[in-house]
Amino acid sequence: MKNLIVLACSFLSGVASSKRLARAAGKKVGGRVNADHTLGFLLGLSVGAGCVLLFAPKAGADTRSMIDKKAKEGSAYLKQQAEDLSDAAANLIREGRKEAARAEKTLVDAAHA
């Protein structure tokens, strides 16, 4: 529950920061999202994320090890996805070459006929 409250506060902080940055830049704050809004929102979210880590129910060492473990899992997942994508692209290229060779043979046969 405490993390939810901190997250909500970070969201509100992000909105307030984006409006403050937009006003400081002399731009009208309206329904449009611009770079200042995005920067302020991300700044607020990062402050909120930091607060969540500070008020986390686990000890600092436990939290750091969990973050490290999740980062390694994410890295391994991304590497696996990249390998799968590379294999799929190689298969598509190989199949495309085969199809091009078949089409070339068909055209050559048609031209000789």
Q: Do residue 43 and residue 64 come from a single domain?
A: no
> What angle is formed at CA 68 by the lines to CA 53 and CA 58, rounded to 5 degrees?
40
Same domain, 28 and 65: no
Q: Which of 33, 57, 81 is the last residue of a domain?
A: 57
For residues 11 and 52, membership in a common domain is answered with: yes
pLDDT in tens, the chain (113 residues): 555 565 566 666 665 655 555 555 555 545 555 666 677 777 777 777 777 777 767 777 887 888 888 889 989 999 999 999 999 999 999 999 999 999 999 999 888 87
Same domain, 53 and 66: no
What is the per-residue pLDDT for 34? 62
Predicted TM-score of the model (pTM):
0.42
Q: Quick one: how far is CA 22 from the chain centroid?
A: 25
Check: CB of residue 40 under 8 Å from CB of residue 18: yes
Residues 34/22, Cβ–Cβ less than 8 Å:
yes
Last residue of a domain, one of 31, 57, 83: 57
Give the residue among 77, 13, 69, 76 at the shortest CA–CA distance from 45: 13
Residue 104 and residue 75 share a domain? yes
Q: Which domain holds residue 34?
A: 1-57
25 DSSP 8-state letter: T
Number of domains in the chain: 2
